[in-house]
Structure 1
């Protein structure tokens, strides 16, 4: 029985809209904005046999240290503009979004720390178990306290809402990060380093 290697050619089209570069493959539709210090990407993807795009990722690639930390609330305007451009060309029907973990945006990090500081369930958990991770509890608290509020507010304008989280690669917020965010540095706050945001319309 012979094995055949079948080459697959993916056509990538580039076009520009003002400062936006659009890259399209069989599965992905990416919109990109370049600047001197940062590149912003919004990518939608779909299954092979699907006519609509069900996943979305927004990311910021930094070329150098930024003078001010990123705020997700400030990124929403860019995301909205890129989303609108994409919706003119593709059918969007999302069930998940990847936008980065809480430490990547100072406002989301602050929301995240506050959520676990204010959660009675988490305080009872660490009182009993110290620095032991409970993934289900972490995801529950992130949802209950609306950690990604700027994103959820934006999604509501698109008739979506955040319904849950899937998290991986967990650790804890560092003392340095806690102090930088305005806390004492003694708080015990879990940190998922991969966060899939589950949504529905």
Structure 2
């Protein structure tokens, strides 16, 4: 049977050794190189939120209390120490210019579980150690709402609630048990760009 027409370019590329063009991903103005960010393509946008299709990504995460600034600081130090330890063990520099930092909030059988996660640079292999776990966020569509200002426990909760209310009003299906608060700036920055991510069901 002859190959179908859509398969011909791939077949010719394999036979002739011709490289096909790489997948083009969208880039955020506040996440340009040398910053390393998760790859995504924008699906749709409106005045309230947008939908993005994120590629699979790997994160180093540790549990923490998002309501307590000291607990957040301790969680941050655990991730930094873990990354530095892994860099020393593997004798390779693990790029620390990865964004965003994520606060994952999940409502489960044990109540509300909160964790702080930092992106693992592509090509780096890590394993869970101590209080830091390595987690894969599979390829998924996310509804995204931006918000400005210093990210606090209250501002994350309020913006997550507003996004979910808008999604309900628009008849969208989404995971009500979890959301991610993404921060693209250090605590000492004068400007902050933040986002709420809610997984599409």
**Same fold (TM > 0.5):** no
Q: Compute the TM-score of the two structures, normalised by the length of structure 1.
A: 0.29
Q: Which of 1 and 2 has higher RCO (CA within 8 Å, sep 6+)?
A: 2
Q: Compute the TM-score of the two structures, normalised by the length of structure 2.
A: 0.29
More helix by share: 1
